[in-house]
Chains A and B, each alone.
Chain A
């Protein structure tokens, strides 16, 4: 009897273990049909185009079913941390996910992304905006299919400038002058920026830095260049915008990018640097108070001809841990392909990173502004490629904030950042 009791307990444990193993093995193939479900993680679908995309995919690949999983709330940093947690554990529950343009070096060198060379040929890659493909290429291998193009642009109030008889600014100093002249805080701020310590701050700094002729790292990515005079001037300008010219909204050191956007679309700012989504938020969103009053233009510069936009954007990658490699690759290529991009461009208000889609007559007729925006694309620069980029930028952001809050001089801040970043870059050579 004693043995019997033990036997029962053991068999219960064994049975539940078997059940668990079985369920995790075969859970996503429908038995007998060979039909596979591919789970992909993607941004919120504000305009409800997912069903159309799924239908088109399942028509093309009847044996594969797509399942959409939303990215976590709270921006790219949260998404990064979620992906890292999942991938570090070798989790195979998500086969395809969209990643920010700055993550490929980090995620690929950790061995979490599947190289797509076999399926994504150089000819196909040539159909995409080159900067987007370049960002997805690490040590000669391609890791992602671009699906959303983004870069910094200057949004401004056409109506206010016209009324004052002023032209949109070509240089940063012109912007400061116009903003100081026309602003009436707190009802109307001159310039809305995001100097909160996240990627946003880095992107805006890079735009000031590059348009002043500076560099962040050298070509090899192993030597620091951000302690140069050009870089210190760029930081000084950010400090002055806040403290000397006082054209930036209060709270710029804590506001997330979308809080800043809300100030602008509420009609409480003249200039706003943000990503392209602000266009659709100003023109099409119900809550916008600035419909038809907004202009979008290339970001100003310090030195002529150096206007620079930081590259943003997202691409579909395939998890190294997927159990359905072929199917997952098909899904990634399809989701980033021309058909889906056209749907997203027309109905989802997203700027496509694919040249044939941008040249599509229907797109040109329906969304002429995309063509204008694509013209800025020659001014795009990617952020430095490094497996340590997240860490480097976290260190740099904290120092930038110290400078903006005038707790350190710009020179001190960049040198302190260099002191912390240098040891990291040295390890790369190892």
Chain B
């Protein structure tokens, strides 16, 4: 305490108040955040209110108000992409939560080789997503792929199935498998941390009172785990909603447009159609949705009950 006041006094003598010093120290970080995050975001909003088509420069960049947003919501393709994105993210997160909880509960028990199992569970999550997606793409491949070969050898299917490119449903299912494989460890990790924070004395007391295992789980584990669950769901939902790489590699939105999620739609509009006005509007809408999602989660996190 003493040394801190001394240091502060020295700064005071040199002419900087604590507040001023604070500002100076925080300036580089603020500049950086402003430059890489706030500025691009404001620019995107600005773009989204203009008609900007790079392949038609003669049009100029006229201000069009909310026209881009109106056009987007009128287009069935964009509405479909939002619907698909919501469907995907809720399905992914729900399945990952169930599996993640099971894994966390197992890993929280004592057994031989637990450290090894804990470490190996994390492997899928530690790999770069693009590489994961490429690996799975090869496994799904109907001519060279492992998955079809195994299923054919087991006589489950008669001829190879093109999982990613035959029906919308088979593509949904394949993508779900990959995302669950990749992200369940993350959910499990956070839930495991939550489980370890529950004091053992609670279970002891419950057992003395004659509570069953199920009773312990419902009345102790789940309520105590609430915060960890919300954190895991918050991260995963936002991440799932704006995910891009997985589908960019696996399906590129196909077959047809059945797996074209909002981020892929925005990417195509921006960089293939060169329509920066509409593409920016699509990304702003996505940002608004993820912000709304996080507000919902954060409010329920801070609620006291």
Contacts and interface: CB of A to CB of B under 8 A. Distances in A.
Same complex for A and B? Answer yes
A253 B57 contact: no
B257 interface: yes
Contact of A110 (B54, B162, B256): B54
Interface stretch (B101-109, B195-203, B267-275, B289-297): B267-275
A254 B254 contact: yes
Interface string B235-272: 00000000000000001111111000000000010011
Contacts of A253: 162, 165-166, 254-255
B55 A402 contact: no
Contacts of B252: 197-198
B24 A394 contact: no
Contacts of B59: 430
B167 A85 contact: no
A254 B256 contact: no
A254 B141 CA distance: 9
Contacts of A111: 57
A418 B159 CA distance: 36
Contacts of A398: 253-254, 256-257
B162 A106 contact: no
Nearest to A397: B254
B57 A109 contact: yes
A197 B252 CA distance: 8
A1 B14 contact: yes
Nearest to B75: A420
B15 A1 contact: yes
B56 A251 contact: no
Given A2-B16, A391-B272, A401 B254 contact: yes
B276 to A, nearest CB: 8
Contacts of A109: 55-57
Contact of A402 (B15, B253, B256, B275): B256
A321 interface: no
Contact of B143 (A196, A263, A427): A263
A250 B242 CA distance: 31
B142 interface: yes
Nearest to A392: B273
A186 B160 contact: yes
B49 interface: no
Contacts of B165: 196, 251-254, 405
A399 B255 CA distance: 10
A394 B256 contact: no
A110 B166 contact: no
B162 A2 contact: no
B271 A85 contact: yes
A405 B143 contact: no
B185 to A, nearest CB: 27
A84 B274 contact: yes
Interface in A68-95: 77, 80-81, 84-85, 88
A405 B160 contact: no
A387 B255 contact: no
Contacts of B161: 250
A388 interface: yes
B164 interface: yes
Nearest to B14: A1
A390 interface: yes
B272 A394 contact: yes
A397 to B, nearest CB: 9
Contacts of A405: 165-167, 255-256
A12 to B, nearest CB: 10
A164 interface: no
A365 interface: no
B189 to A, nearest CB: 32
Interface string B73-109: 0000000000000000000000000000000000000
Contacts of A110: 54-55, 57, 274
A231 interface: no
Interface in A189-241: 196-198
Contacts of B255: 197, 253-254, 401-402, 405
Contacts of B15: 1-2, 5
Given A109-B55, A251-B162, A259 B141 contact: yes
Nearest to A420: B77
B200 to A, nearest CB: 51
Contacts of B20: 2
A251 B142 contact: yes
Interface string A242-269: 0000000111111100010011000010
Given A250-B162, A407-B256, 11 more contacts: A9-B24, A80-B272, A109-B57, A110-B55, A196-B165, A250-B143, A251-B160, A251-B162, A253-B165, A254-B164, A398-B254
Q: Which 8 A-B pairs have the closest CB atoms?
A: A2-B15, A251-B142, A253-B165, A254-B165, A250-B142, A1-B15, A387-B55, A391-B273
Interface of A: 1-2, 5, 9, 77, 80-81, 84-85, 88, 106, 109-111, 186, 196-198, 249-255, 259, 262-263, 268, 387-388, 390-391, 394, 398-399, 401-402, 405, 407, 427, 430
Interface of B: 14-16, 20, 24, 54-57, 59, 141-144, 159-162, 164-167, 251-257, 268, 271-276
19 contacts: A5-B24, A80-B272, A84-B274, A110-B55, A186-B143, A250-B159, A253-B162, A253-B254, A255-B143, A262-B144, A268-B143, A387-B55, A390-B272, A390-B274, A391-B272, A399-B256, A405-B255, A405-B256, A407-B256
